[in-house]
Amino acid sequence: MPAIYLNFRPRSRRWSPSETRQFPRSHHAAAQSGRPNGNRRHMLLKEATRASSIQVERQLISEVLISTGGNRKRAAADLGISYKALLYKLKQIEAENQSAFCRNGVAQ
């Protein structure tokens, strides 16, 4: 029998605990908590993608604003977005920076 089919088991047969692979206790605890190591929460792919796209977007906006000498209207045109969209993104960035500033205990 090929190696691919060694782990195949038909649905109709019940397997006893002695026939299944035994995992260490730490693995069982992690599986019950829903986290691989039991303590840390891994970032979901969707969250990681969103976080990296926000970071790239901020960097790009910053570079274009510097290259246009702070001219937001030209920066919006260079970025291919509307002026209002750029203002909205700048407002979001400012709000997040301000909340991070307050969260770090520097100003409250």
Q: Which residues of 2-40 are buried (b: 16+ CB within 10 A; e: fewer)?
A: eeeeeeeeeeeeeeeeeeeeeeeeeeeebeeeeeeeeee
Structural domains in the chain, CATH included, are 45-103 (1.10.10)
pTM over 0.75: no
pLDDT tens-digit profile, the chain (108 residues):
444 544 555 555 555 555 555 555 554 444 554 555 556 678 799 999 999 999 999 999 999 999 999 999 999 999 999 999 999 999 999 988 888 777 766 554
